[in-house]
Amino acid sequence: MIHKINIEGIKLYAFHGCLEEEAKIGANYVVDVYMTTDFSKAAISDELKETIDYCAIYEISKKQMAVRSKLIEHVCKRIFDEIAAEFKTIVSLKVKLTKLMPPMNGNVEKVCVEMEDKF
């Protein structure tokens, strides 16, 4: 049986980007985390310790988003790596990081990067 936990729409404000203005003004971001794991025990026991704590995923995302980077690719990797290190029961993991209204020479709603791997 395949068990998936998806945490979508983690909304955070951060100061990533190559431009100096981005470091001062900041922007809105969205983090989505998709995990495949085995939560059979949690489904039976109703115990949080038997599954992945959603709040922990939020806190990892929030912590890594607070560390300024030029590239969202770099931030995405930090979030990915910390989640993978923290939760050894994850079989596959995908982290998607979206920057809303990026400063570009055109009308662009968002840019996204994704990292995905199986363990």
**Residue 110: its pLDDT value, please?**
97
Model pLDDT for residues 52-110, shown as the tens digit of each residue: 999 999 999 999 999 999 999 999 999 999 999 999 999 999 999 999 999 888 999 99
Residue 1 has pLDDT above 90, yes or no: no
Report the CATH number of the 3-118 domain: 3.30.1130.10
Q: Which of 109, 68, 76 minimizes the C-alpha distance to 94?
A: 76
- Domain borders along the chain are 3-118
Q: Which amino acid is at 71?
A: L
> What is the residue-averaged pLDDT of the chain?
97
Model pLDDT for residues 9-67, shown as the tens digit of each residue: 999 999 999 999 999 999 999 999 999 999 999 999 999 999 999 999 999 999 999 99
Q: What percent of the chain has pLDDT over 70?
A: 100
In sequence order, the 6+-apart residues with CB closer than 8 A to the CB of 87 are: 35, 37, 52, 56
Q: Give the other-Cβ count within 10 Å of 35's Cβ.
A: 22
Q: Residue 113 — very low, low, confident or very high, per pLDDT cuts 50/70/90? A: very high
Q: What is the pTM of this model?
A: 0.96
Give the angle 20-94-51 at the CA atoms, nearest 5°. 120
**Which token pair is 25?**
């003004």
